[in-house]
């Protein structure tokens, strides 16, 4: 059987796995893994060892490490109390809390905090949502929007990588920075518009489905000043803050100040979420700030299987030419010029459902832009922006890196399972909406 036919079978298998999960509640990962073994071994002739070799080690380790460390803070009530204190501080503007979280995420991302931004804000956001009735999906979308807006700047974080891709594509250095800044500005405008649109539509839909529901529940929480942290909770907060600083400060220093020290380079290499969180989970266990057995019992294993299973199928799809098939779409020259930016955006968004937008999708698409712009006469900024907006509209998918982090940081399996479905549906909606935005010219705001 040809690679194209196998690729189609893999994509159909993903759709079928999703439908069965939504209909029956059977874990999507078990279905996807089973399909992967059947397709890989019986159709492709691969060994079973090759298939389970697709297990996404880094991603799964992050899910387990974050669930373990923050499980202590949930178990002893630290996160709930911290959320209560934050709510009391903003008690006169509770509906605006998602925007406050988005702004904080933007600032942290701008400073080069990296994944530490999500690690800090997601657990706190869930605690806030639980207490006043804000939907967790809205909070996830707000934090994700702020985080992406912050990290894409051309001076820190992943924006440096993207600017480098523009320069490596053959654009002169002075023109490359101008091009990327215009692309980044267009990206910011689109992300802010989509956050505002999502917030308004979400509120309207909520009122329509629950007309008698109060705007905010648990009002007594807002009127009564929260109690002080207990000694145990103070220790927990100390661990959270130290771990956050270890995730953020070395990376910020490494971005702005080039420290010529081997020891510092080793420290930067250590200060990644997986390493820091697992070490601090051990410290929390030694300090006995919560019962480790209870924390282990609440590990999100259902989420682990869901994400790993879909990764199995996507790796098979890549093996038979998924990425090459995407590139081939533009090689024939059969797409009308007015559809190139929307299709570019759509493809970037689709690939980011299952892969990292900045480390996989954009390095694939950005090098195509200069030649595509020359051949079609299209605005080069619009093409870069279309790829960037598309690739960063769907990482909220639970099968992409950032989306999986949000799911893994959920306080319990019930919410995690719910977020898997809701985040995937939202990612599909964003894929469609961003493509429509590109068609309407929202990627073509600036020219060079």
**The domain containing residue 12 runs over which residues?**
1-53+302-321
| CA distances to 54, 64, 250, 301, 375 from 310, in Å | 10, 18, 34, 15, 37
Query: Are residues 86 and 215 located together in one domain of the fold?
Result: yes
Query: Are residues 112 and 1 located together in one domain of the fold?
Result: no
In a domain, 127, yes or no: yes
Contacts of 102 (CB under 8 A, 6+ apart): 142, 143, 145, 146, 149, 195
Q: Are 411 and 126 in contact (CB under 8 A)?
A: yes
**211: exposed, middle or buried (Cβ count in 10 Å: 0-12, 13-18, 19+):** exposed
Q: Which two three-digit tokens encode residue 305?
A: 């299987």
Task: Count up the domains in the chain and report the number.
Answer: 2
Contacts of 442 (CB under 8 A, 6+ apart): 186, 189, 190, 193
pLDDT in tens for each of the 448 residues of the chain? 788 899 899 889 988 987 888 788 888 889 989 999 999 999 999 999 999 898 888 778 877 887 888 889 888 888 778 777 877 777 778 888 899 899 988 987 776 666 767 888 898 889 888 888 889 999 999 999 999 998 888 775 577 778 877 877 766 666 787 888 899 999 999 999 999 999 998 888 877 765 554 455 555 556 678 888 899 999 998 998 898 888 778 877 776 777 788 888 888 888 888 898 899 999 999 999 999 998 888 887 877 887 788 888 888 888 888 767 766 776 666 788 889 999 999 999 998 887 777 767 887 788 888 878 887 888 899 999 999 999 999 989 988 878 988 998 888 888 988 898 899 999 999 999 999 999 999 998 988 7
d(CA 312, CA 361): 18
Nearest in space to 421 (alpha carbons), one of 66, 121, 140: 140
d(CA 277, CA 440): 44
Query: Are residues 356 and 252 located together in one domain of the fold?
Result: yes
In a domain, 237, yes or no: yes
- Evaluate if pTM is beyond 0.85: no
Query: Are residues 42 and 67 located together in one domain of the fold?
Result: no
Query: Are residues 354 and 224 located together in one domain of the fold?
Result: yes
d(CA 368, CA 361): 12
| CA distances to 62, 229, 246, 445 from 386, in Å | 30, 47, 35, 11
Q: pLDDT at position 411, please?
A: 86
In a domain, 444, yes or no: no
Q: pLDDT at position 386, please?
A: 94
In a domain, 131, yes or no: yes
Query: Are residues 84 and 163 located together in one domain of the fold?
Result: yes
Nearest in space to 402 (alpha carbons), one of 103, 151, 28: 151
Query: Are residues 204 and 120 located together in one domain of the fold?
Result: yes
In a domain, 292, yes or no: yes
Query: Are residues 66 and 134 located together in one domain of the fold?
Result: yes
Q: How many CB atoms lie within 10 A of CB 447?
A: 9
Q: pLDDT at position 83, please?
A: 72
d(CA 87, CA 97): 9
In a domain, 328, yes or no: no
In a domain, 369, yes or no: yes
Work out the widest C-alpha separation in the chain, in whole angstroms. 67
Query: Are residues 352 and 410 located together in one domain of the fold?
Result: yes
| CA distances to 148, 153, 313, 333, 334 from 108, in Å | 10, 12, 34, 42, 43
Q: How many CB atoms lie within 10 A of CB 23?
A: 8
In a domain, 30, yes or no: yes
Query: Are residues 59 and 46 located together in one domain of the fold?
Result: no
Give me the torsion for CA of 34, 36, 40, 42, rounded to 10°.
30
Q: pLDDT at position 168, please?
A: 75
- Chain centroid to CA 119: 11
Region label for 410, one of left (φ > 0), alpha (ψ between -120 and 50) or beta (otherwise): beta
d(CA 444, CA 437): 10
Contacts 24+ apart (CB under 8 A), 323-328: 323/351, 323/364, 325/4, 325/7, 326/351, 326/364, 327/364, 327/368
d(CA 448, CA 322): 33
Residue 314, CB half-sphere, CA atoms under 13 Å: how many?
Answer: 19
Query: Are residues 26 and 121 located together in one domain of the fold?
Result: no
Query: Are residues 5 and 103 located together in one domain of the fold?
Result: no
């Amino acid at each position: 059987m040809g690679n194209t036919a196998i690729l189609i079978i893999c994509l159909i298998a993903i759709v079928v796995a999703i439908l069965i999960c939504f209909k029956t509640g059977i874990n999507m990962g078990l279905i996807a893994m089973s399909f992967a073994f059947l397709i890989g071994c019986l159709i492709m002739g691969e060994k079973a060892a090759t298939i389970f070799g697709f297990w996404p080690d880094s991603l799964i380790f992050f899910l387990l490490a974050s669930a373990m460390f923050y499980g202590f803070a949930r178990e002893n009530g630290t996160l709930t109390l911290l959320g209560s204190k934050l709510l009391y501080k903003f008690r006169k503007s509770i509906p605006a809390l998602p925007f406050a979280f988005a702004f904080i995420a933007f600032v942290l991302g701008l400073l080069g905090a990296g994944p530490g931004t999500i690690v800090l804000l997601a657990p706190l956001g869930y605690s806030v949502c639980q207490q006043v009735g804000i939907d967790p999906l809205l909070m996830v979308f707000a934090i994700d929007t702020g985080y992406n807006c912050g990290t894409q700047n051309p001076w820190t974080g992943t924006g440096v990588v993207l600017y480098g891709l523009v320069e490596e594509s053959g654009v002169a250095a002075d023109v490359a920075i101008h091009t990327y800044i215009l692309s980044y500005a267009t990206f910011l405008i689109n992300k802010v518009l989509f956050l505002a649109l999502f917030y308004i539509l979400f509120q309207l839909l909520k009122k329509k489905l629950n007309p008698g529901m109060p705007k905010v529940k648990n009002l007594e929480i807002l009127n009564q000043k929260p109690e002080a942290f207990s000694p145990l909770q103070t220790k927990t907060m100390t661990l959270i803050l130290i771990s956050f600083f270890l995730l953020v400060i070395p990376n910020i220093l490494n971005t702005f100040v080039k420290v010529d020290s081997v020891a510092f380079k080793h420290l930067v290499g250590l200060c990644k979420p997986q390493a820091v969180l697992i070490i601090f989970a051990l410290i929390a266990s030694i300090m006995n700030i919560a019962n480790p057995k209870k924390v282990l019992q609440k590990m999100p294993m259902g989420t682990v299987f869901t994400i790993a299973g879909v990764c199995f199928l996507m790796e098979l799809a890549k093996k038979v030419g998924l990425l090459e098939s995407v590139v081939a779409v533009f090689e024939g020259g059969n797409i009308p010029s007015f559809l190139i930016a929307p299709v570019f955006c759509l493809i970037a968004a689709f690939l980011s459902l299952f892969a990292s937008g900045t480390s996989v999708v954009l390095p694939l698409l950005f090098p195509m832009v200069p030649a595509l712009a020359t051949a079609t006469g299209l605005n080069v900024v619009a093409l870069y922006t279309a790829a960037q907006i598309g690739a960063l509209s769907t990482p909220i998918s639970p099968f992409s890196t950032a989306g999986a982090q949000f799911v893994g940081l959920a306080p319990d399996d019930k919410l995690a399972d719910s977020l898997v479905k809701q985040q995937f549906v939202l990612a599909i909606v964003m894929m469609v909406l961003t493509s429509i935005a590109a068609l309407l010219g929202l990627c073509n705001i600036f020219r060079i």
